């Protein structure tokens, strides 16, 4: 492929596997466009369930954290020095790798384009800082330039990860077939996916579903493995206490899901009528799903996440009810209750689900009209190469 590059992406897994999830999607997307990618990570265990089949063109390599140097010879560095370096989320590329790049440049090789891929945000600073240079002051690469690359929601940012065939795959998705393949017995209930941390309003939401369902229908809750499953089980205890309605059906039934590969997680979002997501990668996938969704943003001790949440809701043009639900879900306000209905506020807000759907679809339409992150990144590299 003309113009194909060799990419080295470096990733440190902080927690919850969001970093490696984003890096894998980027690596796989670049490979699907004909590029060669080496993904260096300090913890690749999550890829065993996120991407069990791997991806042609992507090689996953260990990034030792015990002082052991990278095995550049085994990685084929000499035969394929990088054209692009991706420093994901400020992780600082291994110094021996930078030294090898500098040595290759001195030997007549081209200097790689060095990109610092930042976290996603809708805040105003993203447009100001996107594509800004950061001169390297010291070390073997002194005098080089690192470039900030900010994913975002406007034409003046780095865009969002979106595979070229995403719409086609979603349009051909067989909801009933996928649910059956997962062993989920579906009788027409409202399907709600739950991928969260431990939101303060979870107990209120479960009470609402158990007492009233959603939109006049029973709810089948599809709970993601990990912290979401632990949170639900801690609150519900014995699920047998969930009461059937007058038709003999439970207003709330629950399926606890296994760890899903990334394509499977997309299918979960496409299958559901309402999605609760968390972190960065699942937020973007919820946007592409085009269904009503609620975002549990990663909490920060100084409440900096609340400004980020507000900026996102502004971008989404979220209706007041969706803003209020996000405030309760993310702990900005306490869930309001009454003695006879412990989820009164949740019930009122969820009644506005059609407005949430309209906002999600409108946002997806606007964002689909923009170039995706890989396309913008490739264009940026072409200008700097």
Cβ atoms within 10 Å of 176's Cβ, excluding its own: 10
How many alpha carbons lie under 13 Å from residue 98 in its C-beta half-sphere? Answer: 19
Helices 18-32, 262-271: axis angle to 10 degrees equals 100
Q: 277 near 286, Cβ under 8 Å?
A: yes
Does the annotation mark 174 as catalytic? Answer: no
Contacts of 342 (CB under 8 A, 6+ apart): 203, 204, 207
Contacts of 230 (CB under 8 A, 6+ apart): none
The DSSP bridge partners found for residue 37 are 7, 58
Does the annotation mark 280 as catalytic? Answer: yes
The DSSP bridge partners found for residue 145 are 135
Nearest-5° Cα angle at 122, 118 to 125: 70
3-state secondary structure 97-129: HHHHHHHHHHCCCCCCEEEEECCCCCCCHHHHH
DSSP state of 338: -
Q: 127 near 138, Cβ under 8 Å?
A: no
Q: Alpha-carbon torsion 121, 124, 127, 130, what sign?
A: negative
Task: Tell me which of 87, 118, 203, 280 is the catalytic residue.
Answer: 280
- H or E element, residue 249: none
Task: Tell me which of 8, 19, 189, 372 is the catalytic residue.
Answer: 19
Q: Which residue has the tokens 């969930």?
A: 242
Active site residues: 19, 280
């Amino acid at each position: 492929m003309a113009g194909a590059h060799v990419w080295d992406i470096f990733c440190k897994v902080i927690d919850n596997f969001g970093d490696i999830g984003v890096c894998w999607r980027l690596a796989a997307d670049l490979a699907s466009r004909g590029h060669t990618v080496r993904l260096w990570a300090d913890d690749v265990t999550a890829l065993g369930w996120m991407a069990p089949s791997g991806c042609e063109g992507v090689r996953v390599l260990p990034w030792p954290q015990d002082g052991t140097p990278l095995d550049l010879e085994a990685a084929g560095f000499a035969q394929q020095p990088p054209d692009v370096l991706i420093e994901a989320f400020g992780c600082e590329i291994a110094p021996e790798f930078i030294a090898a790049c500098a040595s290759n440049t001195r030997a007549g090789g081209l200097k790689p384009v060095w990109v610092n891929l930042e976290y996603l945000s809708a805040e105003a600073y993203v447009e100001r800082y996107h594509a800004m240079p950061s001169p390297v002051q010291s070390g073997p690469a002194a005098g080089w330039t690192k470039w900030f690359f900010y994913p975002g929601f406007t034409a003046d940012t780095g865009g969002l990860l979106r595979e070229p065939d995403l719409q086609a795959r979603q349009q051909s998705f067989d909801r009933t077939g996928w649910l059956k393949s997962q062993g989920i017995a579906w009788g027409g209930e409202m399907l709600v996916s739950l991928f969260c941390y431990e939101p303060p309003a979870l107990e209120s939401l479960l009470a609402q579903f158990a007492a009233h369902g959603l939109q006049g229908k029973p709810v089948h809750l599809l709970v993601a493995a990990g912290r979401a499953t632990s949170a639900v089980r801690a609150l519900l205890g014995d699920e047998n206490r969930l009461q059937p309605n007058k038709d003999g059906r439970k207003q709330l039934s629950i399926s606890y899901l296994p760890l899903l590969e990334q394509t499977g997680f997309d299918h979960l979002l496409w299958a559901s009528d309402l999605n609760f997501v968390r972190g960065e990668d699942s937020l973007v996938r919820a946007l592409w799903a085009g269904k009503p969704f609620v975002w549990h943003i990663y909490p920060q001790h100084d409440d900096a996440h609340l400004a980020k949440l507000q900026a996102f809701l502004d971008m989404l043009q979220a209706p007041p009810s969706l803003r209020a639900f996000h405030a309760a879900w993310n702990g900005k306000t306490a869930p309001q209750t009454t003695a006879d209905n412990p989820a009164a506020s949740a019930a009122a807000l969820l009644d506005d689900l059609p407005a949430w759907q309209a906002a999600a679809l409108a946002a997806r339409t606007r964002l689909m009209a923009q170039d995706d992150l890989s396309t913008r990144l490739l264009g940026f590299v072409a200008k700097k190469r």
